[in-house]
């Protein structure tokens, strides 16, 4: 749907209450949940990794869980952007980690990921979720070449 208007929103609610904002936005604008793509950070993915899915569970992400609850469906596209850098440790407070600036080397990785995320979202709008997932999701590694016989 190239050339169609797009509505970008940054909820002003707490992340764990994102569903309130997304639900209100959908109702106000007559938007079906399948037309919403939620972009979120994900501590379970390495820094710079993208994962795009057509639907799915919240996977422990409280903001996504709030949206699933408010929309009463998990059938909406989502794009997760990995933020787990080298400084992350499960012993640290998660809130402190996600709110601190990226380290110098991490910032470039994150900015590259944002560029790839924008491209995936453009593809989702223009060509659909399958094209966007092919672009965003990591490619499976190829098997190692067979070794030469001795």
**What is the predicted pLDDT for the residue at 14?**
85
In eight-state DSSP terms, residue 33 is G
Per-residue model confidence as pLDDT tens digits over 72-96? 999 999 999 988 867 666 777 666 7
The whole-angstrom distance between residue 86's C-alpha and the CA centroid of its chain comes to 20
When pLDDT is cut at 50, 70 and 90, the band that residue 41 belongs to is: confident
Which whole number is the average pLDDT over 5-17? Answer: 87
CATH code of domain 15-135: 3.40.50.1470
Per-residue model confidence as pLDDT tens digits over 86-125? 766 677 766 677 777 888 888 899 999 999 999 999 999 9
Beta bridge partners of 79: 39, 52
Say what the pTM is. Answer: 0.82
CA distance 57 to 44: 14
**What is the predicted pLDDT for the residue at 146?**
54
DSSP assignment string, 8-29: -----S-GGGHHHHHHHHHHHH
**What is the predicted pLDDT for the residue at 1?**
54
pLDDT of 2 strictly over 70: no
Report the mean per-residue pLDDT for the chain: 86
The whole-angstrom distance between residue 12's C-alpha and the CA centroid of its chain comes to 18
């Amino acid at each position: 749907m190239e050339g169609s208007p797009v509505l970008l929103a940054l909820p002003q609610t707490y992340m764990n209450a994102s569903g309130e904002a997304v639900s209100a936005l959908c109702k106000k604008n007559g938007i079906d949940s399948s037309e919403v793509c939620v972009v979120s950070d994900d501590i379970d993915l390495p820094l710079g990794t993208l994962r795009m899915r057509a639907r799915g569970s919240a996977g422990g992400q409280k903001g996504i869980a709030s949206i699933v609850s408010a929309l009463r469906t998990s059938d909406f596209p989502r794009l997760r952007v990995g933020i787990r850098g080298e400084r992350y440790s499960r012993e640290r407070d998660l809130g402190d980690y996600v709110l601190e600036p990226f380290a110098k080397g991490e910032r470039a990785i994150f900015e590259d990921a944002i560029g790839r995320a924008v491209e995936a979202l453009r593809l989702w709008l223009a060509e659909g979720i399958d094209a966007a997932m092919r672009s965003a999701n990591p490619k499976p590694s190829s098997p190692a070449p067979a070794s030469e016989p001795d």
